[in-house]
């Protein structure tokens, strides 16, 4: 399924706010920070590690939250968090039905509020941690700009069912948009938007290279995002973070699925075997 087909599918949920989510089928909650351009204007460009740490922690807190069960997989990229619900849960698990009366509006309201709360918690935690580290630094990190952002973030949420067999396609498209966004953000640090418009991504890469800027030198999580998987470690619930090290490839065919499709499908099923330890954060 192509990006236009998926977008058309999602539009059904955007236009009908009273449509109910089918809780025994996979659905996605997409959480996006609004007013991001204004919010990040004083942060490091194109990539601010403390901001991304904050988004990662927000994702982890959302995955651990038990308000609505069935979410074991998250994907954070730039100012967006995608949560996949009920991908590997049995329809016979009636605990999944506790939110069966939730419309997209109710889900959106609930998760927008939770994301805002968790983001501010995470930002405050990170500021406190950095202040303690500053006590032993010869040159302390200036935290004023982060303190000014406390309680300033706002999030908007989209909720939609997706057939299980196109969850990977959705993640693939989001991942590739993440890579493109990273390129554009890097380009706009050195050139104007007017110089960007009308150029293909390959042309932007070449222009940056001519200036001595190599996009591949940017951090992986900025270029590809980070996956979170909720799993069990003995008797404790933990969220393991997985660093993507490249753009995902298309799913392939039923007879010859791509390696990325096979790997992400295993991860969606909470199977982390075969992953190199260096990619598990």
d(CA 104, CA 112): 12
253 by DSSP, 3-state: which? coil
d(CA 16, CA 186): 37
Residues recorded for the chain: 281
Considering only residues 184 and 93, tell me which one the structure prediction assigns the higher pLDDT: 184
pLDDT score of 91 more than 70: no
pLDDT in tens, 41-59: 999 999 999 999 999 999 9
Task: Mention every residue, 6+ apart, whose C-beta is less than 8 A from residue 4.
Answer: none
pLDDT in tens, 117-164: 999 999 999 999 999 999 999 999 999 999 999 999 999 998 888 888
d(CA 173, CA 147): 34
């Amino acid at each position: 399924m192509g990006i236009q087909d998926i977008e058309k599918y999602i539009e059904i949920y955007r236009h009908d706010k009273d449509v109910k989510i089918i809780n025994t089928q996979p659905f996605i909650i997409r959480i996006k920070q609004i007013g991001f351009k204004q919010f990040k204007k004083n942060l490091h460009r194109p990539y601010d590690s403390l901001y991304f740490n904050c988004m990662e922690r927000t994702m982890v807190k959302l995955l651990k939250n038990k308000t609505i069960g069935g979410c074991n997989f998250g994907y954070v990229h730039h100012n967006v968090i995608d949560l996949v619900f009920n991908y590997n849960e049995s329809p016979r698990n009636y605990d999944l039905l506790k939110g069966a009366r939730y419309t997209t509006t109710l889900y959106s309201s609930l998760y927008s509020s939770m994301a805002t709360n968790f983001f501010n918690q995470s930002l405050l935690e990170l500021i406190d941690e950095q202040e303690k580290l500053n006590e032993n630094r010869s040159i302390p990190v200036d935290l004023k700009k982060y303190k000014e952002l406390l309680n300033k973030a706002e999030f908007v949420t989209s909720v939609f069912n997706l057939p299980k067999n196109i969850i990977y396609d959705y993640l693939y498209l989001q991942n590739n948009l993440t890579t493109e966004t990273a390129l554009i953000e890097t380009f706009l640090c050195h050139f104007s938007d007017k110089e960007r418009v009308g150029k293909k991504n390959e042309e932007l890469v070449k222009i940056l290279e001519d200036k001595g800027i190599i996009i591949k030198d940017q951090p992986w999580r900025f270029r590809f995002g980070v996956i979170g998987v909720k799993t069990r470690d003995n008797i404790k619930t933990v969220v393991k973070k997985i660093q993507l090290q490249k753009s995902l490839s298309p799913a392939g065919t039923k007879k010859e699925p791509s390696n990325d499709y096979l790997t992400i499908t295993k991860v969606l099923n909470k199977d982390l075997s075969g992953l190199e330890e260096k990619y598990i954060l």
